[in-house]
Structure 1
């Protein structure tokens, strides 16, 4: 997906956040931000790919600060908080164990920033209220048909914390007797899940975990490894979580694949691209 004018301030917000997590050296922050301004001034254009631009910017921050996992503490905390509430979520699903409920739970995971919650927050109420909301785009019948007619699926995860709720959907998918391959980032980027976080959340209970060969914002086809490209090409059924993977996969030819996107439209650029309202929850087939 290409950038919009609204991506500009978002890039700068991410840069400030990553710099604050990476270093306390104010002069270094100023130096790096100057470099980011120069980079964006030469590359922020109508036809620019959003994921590639963000990935380059974060790589600059890592290289110049020497901090290669700025969000490490936030990722650990995100999984910890999400795992604490897993029993409560399971109780909710015991009351309604439909496929749609599991899909909603996975998307709710995409809504919540677990690192921003404390143990005193009433996350269970947030979950219950979100479950009452309808999916605005709900290709649930096509999704279940894919589950019934494919023998394997590639599941592209998004953030830590969120992957704990993905685990519940993976358990539901397993009931359809599919082989599951879970794809994670090979290198830290933002609070995206890497191998360590996926193992910590127990995703390996439901399938093989593989790395995509890079640490990019979302999916960037030109940077995945040849090993992962073979895996990707070998799967005709793909489940994509989150906005970053949506942005990347819309840039490539998916004609011969059943690709389902599970996400919450959390920014105006994505909302307009899909044709929905901000904060809508979506399950749709490409």
Structure 2
């Protein structure tokens, strides 16, 4: 997806949020916002996709505030909250659809997205959303394509439920490659999170999307092992909006299953699915 004025407003609000997480004073916050907006303006109208521009802006914000991982406490909190709920509900997850639904509910752990709030009571929220089910459900068709899977993770918190879904796929004969972020950016899951939850013990290959602090997927930056896995896979399971914003722009991909909560109007407009929907959509 390309950058729009709405995307710019949301992106800059995230920069301010990052400054707050790092306890930046008003002068440093103003300087950071100015530097990030100048960088953003220099990239507008180029061929860069939204995730590539957002990644550059967030790297600049972290450089200005002197903190490479301002979301660290929120990531730890999200993982802890999700783990508690996971222990409560995992016995309720019986089939592929249940595991996908749990993973999509986990995708709501996404901070500073305009118009979206992370719940303060995830246990009750999970129960309510699980009862409602998916708003778009292509899970039967997705599962039929899951002999060789490349699984692109997104946020902390939800990665707890990703682990259950990957485990389910492995138990049912899938070969699974899991890719996490190469370095901290926003509250996205990194290798440290993946190792903490045992992805190395269940995935056939655990790797990163490459490029350092980079959201989405940039084919020019991904490591050779991930590129090879994508060339051989029968499906990509893509978690979250940034991965959607990248992959939806690329041709010559295998089938892609987009698993996410639609948290902004731009994604809603692009997918034709209302904001707030929980979706598992297969695009071939």
Q: Provide the C-alpha distance between the structure 2 equivalents of 1:166 and 1:250, rounded to a whole number of angstroms.
A: 21
Contact 1:138 1:283 survives alignment (8 Å): yes
Following superposition, the deviation at residue 261 of structure 1 comes to 0.9
Q: What are structure 2's unaligned runs of at least 5 residues? A: 112-116
Q: Provide the C-alpha distance between the structure 1 equivalents of 2:34 and 2:109, rounded to a whole number of angstroms.
A: 32
Secondary structure at the counterpart of residue 239 of structure 1 = strand
Q: Provide the C-alpha distance between the structure 2 equivalents of 1:102 and 1:139, rounded to a whole number of angstroms.
A: 13
| 2:139 corresponding residue in structure 1 | 140
Aligned residue pairs, count: 276
Following superposition, the deviation at residue 116 of structure 1 comes to 5.1
| 2:244 corresponding residue in structure 1 | 246
TM-score by length of 1: 0.89
Q: What are structure 1's unaligned runs of at least 5 residues? A: none
Give deviations 1:130-150, integer Å, cap 9, x for gaps. Answer: 122242321122112113xx2
Q: Provide the C-alpha distance between the structure 1 equivalents of 2:225 and 2:27, rounded to a whole number of angstroms.
A: 41
Q: Provide the C-alpha distance between the structure 1 equivalents of 2:223 and 2:199, rounded to a whole number of angstroms.
A: 22
4+ aligned runs moved over 6 Å, structure 1: none
Q: Which deviates more from structure 2 when the two are superposed, residues 173-182 or residues 105-114?
A: 105-114
Q: Provide the C-alpha distance between the structure 2 equivalents of 1:81 and 1:269, rounded to a whole number of angstroms.
A: 29
1:130 aligns with 2:125: no
Q: Provide the C-alpha distance between the structure 2 equivalents of 1:23 and 1:61, rounded to a whole number of angstroms.
A: 13
Following superposition, the deviation at residue 200 of structure 1 comes to 1.4
Secondary structure at the counterpart of residue 34 of structure 1 = helix
Contact 1:221 1:252 survives alignment (8 Å): no
Contact 2:137 2:279 survives alignment (8 Å): yes
Equivalence map 1:163-178=2 (5 Å): 163-178=159-174
Equivalence map 1:108-123=2 (5 Å): 108-113=105-110, 121=121, 123=122
Following superposition, the deviation at residue 90 of structure 1 comes to 1.2
Following superposition, the deviation at residue 268 of structure 1 comes to 0.3
RMSD, aligned α-carbons = 2.1
| 1:189 corresponding residue in structure 2 | 185
1:35 aligns with 2:73: no
TM-score by length of 2: 0.89
| 1:199 corresponding residue in structure 2 | 195
